[in-house]
A and B are shown apart, each in its own frame.
Chain A
Amino acid sequence: MSVVTLAQALNGGLDLALEKDPNVVLLGEDIGRTGGVFRITDGLREKYGEDRVFDTPVAESGIVGAALGMAIAGLKPVAEIQFLGFSYPAYDQIINHVARMRNRSAHRFTVPMVIRIPFGGGIGAAEHHSESTESIYAHVPGLKVVVPSTPADAKGLLLAAIEDPDPVLLLEPIRLYRAVKEEVDEGDYTTPIGPIRVERSGDDITLFSWGAMMKETRAAAAVLEDDGVSVEVIDIRTLSPLDRDGIAASVEKTGRAVIIHEAPLTAGFGGEIAAVLAERALYSLKAPVRRVTGWDTVFPLKRSESHYLPGVDRIVHAARDILEG
C-alpha cells in the first residue's frame, strides 16, 4: 500500500494493465510523449514502447472508431479524449457503433474497450474544458459509465473497465486528480462496476453524489454532523448500470435525500436518481427529494466559476431545509 493521488492511481492502474495483458494498448492525443494533458499516462510510452502507447492525430471520432476496430480484432484499447467537451465529435461513433456493435451483430462482434475522459470544472479552464455532460452518455444503451471519486476506486474501476467484455466510459474528475490522496493497493484488484459505495453511514439523511462534487458533499456532511445530524454519504460511482437497489435502500433507512451534481439541473442525472426514489422509496420519504446542481447555464469561464459550482453552503442549506421541513 502507498498513499497516492487519484491521478497516480490511474497511472498505476494503466501501468499494471499494460504489464499483465499484451493486448492492452493506449491511444489518444498527446498521451505518449507528454504523458497526456493531465499526465495520467506519464512514463508509459517509455516503459511499454510506441507499439503499445500511441500518440494520435487530433481526431476524436477517429480515436474512438479505430479503438472499436481494434477491440473487435482482439485488442483491449484504452482511448483517451482530452476533455469531455471535446468528446462530441466522437459521440456518433460511441452511440451509433461502439455501444451497438454487440446488438447489431447479435453478439458476434464485441467491443471490449475503455474510453477515459477527464471531466468537470473548477480549475479555471478555457471554454469547453469544464463540461459535465455525463447524462448524455448514461442515456446510451450498451455503454457503461463509471465515475470514480477516490484513488482506490479510480484504479479499481479502471481495471474492471479494462476487463469488462463491453465498452466502458471512465469519467475522471479533473478537480480531484491531485486533490485527494489515500492508500491504494499496489497490486491487481478490481472495483465492481455497478454497486454504489456507502462512504459514510447515517440515519437522518442521504447525500448522493459522484465525481468531483463528492468533495463538497463530504464537506457538507461534516458540517451537518457537527449539527448533530446523522448523514449517509453515497458515492454513486457507476451511472450505468445504476445501483437502484442500493439507492432505494439508503433512503428507505434515512427518509431524506439530497442529490448533488455539477451538471445543469434539467435532464441531469439527478433526475434519474430522484425517479428511483419516487418509484422505490416514496413511502419512506419524510420530505421532498432535493437536487443541488449546476445552473441551467453554459459552464462559465473562470471569473464566474464560483457562481456556478454548487458549494458546501448550498448542499447544507438544502439538507437543513428538508431536515427541518
Chain B
Amino acid sequence: MFSLVNPDGTVRDRLPISIEETKSLYADMVESRVYDHKSMALQRQGRIATYAPFEGQEGAQIGAAAALRSDDWVAGTYRDAALMWKAGYPWDLMVLGRTGDERGGAPPEGVNVLPACLTVGGHMIHAVGLAWAEKLKGSDRIAFTSFGDGATSEGDFHEAMNFAAVYELPVVFFCQNNQFAISYPRSEQTRSQSIAAKAEGYGMPGVQVDGNDVIGVLTTVTEAVAGAREGEGPSFIEAITYRMGPHTTADDPDRYRDDTDAEDWAAKDPLLRVRLLLEKAGGWSPEWQAELESTAGERIEEAVATAEAVAEPTVGEMIGRVFAQPTDALLAQLAEAEE
C-alpha cells in the first residue's frame, strides 16, 4: 500500500507538494468535515433528508479531486460530497439536493460533475461512456469515477472495468474501500486478496493507497490521471479508508462494528496526521485551526441559508423535468394538478 504520510504525521518520503499546498489541502478537509457535521445536525433537525456521512474519508476524497482538471468528468456516489465539492460542485446545491430537491442535481455550466448516483455501482459505466465520447472527440478530458468496496460486487462494476479496458478509455476508477457496505464487512465482500488485485483480470493497473493520507492519494491519483490523459488507458485505485460514522443517518453502526476498530481508525484520521505534519513544520497553530473552522462554518452556514432560501418547487417544474418538452399527457396532468 502506497503511503507518504504516517498517522503520526511523520513522512515516509520527500513530499511532492509544498507546505503551503499541504495547508490548502488541510483547509479543504476541515471545511469538508464541517459540512459533514453540519449535515448530520441538519438531518437530526429534520431540515434535510437521509444523509450519508463521509467523515474519515476526507483524505481520499480531497486528495483525489485535487488531482483532477476542472473540466474533467466526475461520477461519484451519495457519500462523495467532499470529492464533488472539491471538483467544483457548490455546497449549497449539495444541501439543496439533500433537502429533497432535484434542482440540487444541476451543477453550474462548466462543472462536469454528475449528480451523485444512488444505485450502488450504477454510475461507473457512465464514466466509461463519458471517457469514450471524449476519446472519440479527440479531447484530453478524462473521466473519474468513485465508488465504495460494496460496489465492486455489482455486475456493473465488471462491465465498466471491462469496457474501459477493452476500448483503452481515459477512466480512473477510484474505490474508497471504507471497510463496510452498510453492515457487510470487506472481509466477506470478496475472497480476492485485495480489491485492487481485481484490476489485473481486466488488463489494467491496480494499486492500493492509504486513503487516509491525502498527499499519498493526491500523488497516486495524479499519476493515474496523467496516464489516462496521455492515452495509456484506464487504471484502478483502491484507497484504504474507514467510514467513521454510520452508513447513513438511518442506521446504527454499533450493530455491526467493533469499538476497537473504530478507535484504531480514529488514530489514523486523515485530518489528524496532516495537522501533526504541519505542526512539526511550523505550519499549524490553534489560532489558524480556529480560523479555518470558523471560516468553513460561515461558508457552510451561508450554503445552507442559500439552499433553504430556494423557492418551493412547483408542480410545473416536476412535470417539466421529464422531457425537454412536456407531452400532451403531462400537460393534461399538470392542468389537473393545478386545479
Contacts and interface: CB of A to CB of B under 8 A. Distances in A.
13 contacts: A57-B163, A59-B159, A61-B125, A66-B128, A68-B126, A69-B75, A70-B130, A71-B129, A75-B136, A92-B119, A97-B122, A109-B115, A110-B324
Given A65-B129, A141-B322, A241 B329 contact: yes
Given A57-B163, A61-B156, A93-B122, A194 B129 contact: no
B114 to A, nearest CB: 6
Interface in A236-280: 241-242, 244-245
Nearest to B332: A244
Interface stretch (B6-14, B54-62, B98-106, B231-239): B98-106
Interface string B72-113: 010100000000000000000000000000110111000000
B155 interface: yes
B52 interface: no
B131 to A, nearest CB: 7
Interface in A91-124: 92-93, 96-97, 102-110
A14 interface: no
B122 A102 contact: no
B136 A25 contact: yes
Interface string B145-165: 000000000011001101100
A56 B166 CA distance: 9
Nearest to A54: B167
Contacts of B162: 57, 59, 62
A111 B327 CA distance: 17
Interface in A64-90: 65-75, 77, 89
Given A54-B167, A61-B156, A75-B136, 18 more contacts: A62-B163, A66-B132, A69-B125, A69-B127, A69-B129, A70-B132, A71-B129, A72-B114, A72-B133, A74-B137, A75-B133, A77-B129, A102-B322, A105-B106, A108-B107, A108-B115, A110-B324, A165-B324
B222 to A, nearest CB: 23
A216 interface: no
B301 interface: no
Contacts of B75: 69
B102 A106 contact: yes
A159 to B, nearest CB: 17
A144 B127 CA distance: 24
A contact residues, range = 35 or more
A51 interface: yes
Interface in A32-77: 51, 54, 56-57, 59, 61-62, 65-75, 77
Interface string A133-175: 0000000011010000000000000000000011000000000
Nearest to B133: A73
A253 B156 CA distance: 51
A166 B326 CA distance: 11
B102 A104 contact: yes
A258 B22 CA distance: 73
B274 to A, nearest CB: 34
Question: Nearest 8 pairs between A and B by C-beta?
Answer: A69-B129, A65-B125, A62-B159, A73-B133, A108-B106, A241-B327, A66-B129, A165-B324
Contacts of A67: 129
A49 B291 CA distance: 59
B159 A107 contact: no
A72 B130 CA distance: 7
B257 interface: no
B105 A93 contact: no
Contacts of B130: 69-70, 72-73
B269 to A, nearest CB: 33
Nearest to B320: A107
Contacts of A54: 167
Contacts of A102: 321-324
